[in-house]
Structure 1
């Protein structure tokens, strides 16, 4: 590793460690029953995970100052912390990560892009519950350095991690507070990565417009945000909303021209209202040839429900929707 690269990396990792250092004692960010249940022996991710381990070793070192009986802002304590942290990074973290950086550099020109697996998802779920957003961002950076493309980060990592947090809560593997904090950190990551996500590829659908909606009464919007960013990447003009009722839907599609309306359905509890929502879209839409897509776990489990509720198609995720619409919209143009 070049000295300039090493210095930049040292500064970056000190920043991440500093955020961990400032956590109040007793916040229990290193042991959590939710994460223990979810990781299932997941492989440690080079980078942030090793940094956390090294920092834990430093905290347990003999002679590290206790937070009890000393103000966190005391200059002597801060100076000791900085010195010890610097030595830990020099002796523990950088040697462990040098091989990771060499491997990453070798992969930059590799023709094959990597994808996310279940262990990566479990590990990110653990991180967003136990640590702040900077650690989660470092973890994602490490994945990307290994060759995982940004669209896979959105569709194969962030969205499934959000689903996993919900499943863990339903299974009583973690508490509501854990899920809420984890979701908030995932949303922050989505916002941070969005500009690059939009720039990375050619604009294949420039000029197309899509309206993404939750089912009336539902408030879970993270999945919809991720799908929206995927569409923006391909040049779509995107709007999104969480309508309160069918009248809200009619007002939205009457106000502007949309090529596609996507409806996210959270579960069976709201399924009965979906046909009325789709009827309102078709009746009130400025574009009488509007394509209506539905998405959600209930359609993944029962694909035949899409036709039953009146949709043109169902989509597994944003990537799948893009592929479908490329074909569907071309067919519509050719038949006019």
Structure 2
């Protein structure tokens, strides 16, 4: 991953001129950066730098909000061919990916969903779903596992409630993994939430689900 390209992508995302991001993407293309690398490396790192800029007071709330929105649009553009929000298929692994209520940072979940879709996994992404919606999903979809992403460590309690709900609705047969930026701030996230595993390793999560995914280009 080239640092100057990440820096340009992050700064371009904050520009009021939307063409700036197009120019940054053109630069990435000229450097032969693949869509897979954009999704897995460049967009997440650019988003991380926006958050870092907010914490360091070098970027305003407006900058970060605009930048995150633009990066989300770019993710949709370059990752649009990797479909996964469907009913799966015979022999196709299926994962439920959930963002807890009150969690405002959803770009990380979108990146994770796109990465799994690259690997042939059908992903059902839900943001702050209600209990009724979760019950219907779990009753009608044969999920191999559930993932809960958490960016804000202050939302650990709501995450734990969600994990308990997933366990209850899955009748003990649905493995649950938690991950996200909160794991760096709270290494004991697994115990606090009651999840089967707390990790930011996609490979480890899929292995727990018994999913043998094949990465696609």
TM-score (norm 2): 0.80
Q: Residue in 2 aligned with 1:151?
A: 36
Give the CA deviation at 1:230. Answer: 1.0
| Correspondence 1:225-236 to 2 at 5 A | 225-236=110-121
**Please, which runs of 5 or more residues in structure 2 have no aligned partner?**
84-89, 213-217
Deviations 1:47-72 (A, max 9, x none): xxxxxxxxxxxxxxxxxxxxxxxxxx
Q: Residue in 1 aligned with 2:22?
A: 137
Q: Distance in 1 between matches of 2:148 and 2:18?
A: 29
Mapped pair 1:312 → 2:196: yes
Larger radius of gyration: 1
Indicate if the aligned counterparts of 2:103 and 2:152 stay in contact, CA closer than 8 A: no
Secondary structure, counterpart of 1:229 in structure 2: helix
Give the total of aligned pairs.
206
Mapped pair 1:297 → 2:177: no
Q: Residue in 1 aligned with 2:156?
A: 271
- Structure showing the higher helix proportion among its residues: 1
Mapped pair 1:192 → 2:192: no
Over 3 Å counting, the alpha-carbon distance change for 1:293 and 1:272 in structure 2 is same
Deviations 1:274-326 (A, max 9, x none): 2221111011027x43221111112134333224422222332xxx31x2245
Mapped pair 1:238 → 2:123: yes
Q: Residue in 2 aligned with 1:214?
A: 99
Q: Distance in 2 between matches of 1:209 and 1:128?
A: 32
Mapped pair 1:282 → 2:167: yes
List structure 1 runs of 4+ shifted beyond 6 angstroms. none
Over 3 Å counting, the alpha-carbon distance change for 1:328 and 1:164 in structure 2 is same
Deviations 1:20-53 (A, max 9, x none): xxxxxxxxxxxxxxxxxxxxxxxxxxxxxxxxxx
**Please, which runs of 5 or more residues in structure 1 have no aligned partner?**
1-115, 199-204
Over 3 Å counting, the alpha-carbon distance change for 1:167 and 1:254 in structure 2 is farther
Indicate if the aligned counterparts of 1:219 and 1:242 stay in contact, CA closer than 8 A: no
Indicate if the aligned counterparts of 1:246 and 1:276 stay in contact, CA closer than 8 A: no
TM-score (norm 1): 0.54
Q: Which has the higher contact order (CA 8 A, sep 6+)?
A: 2
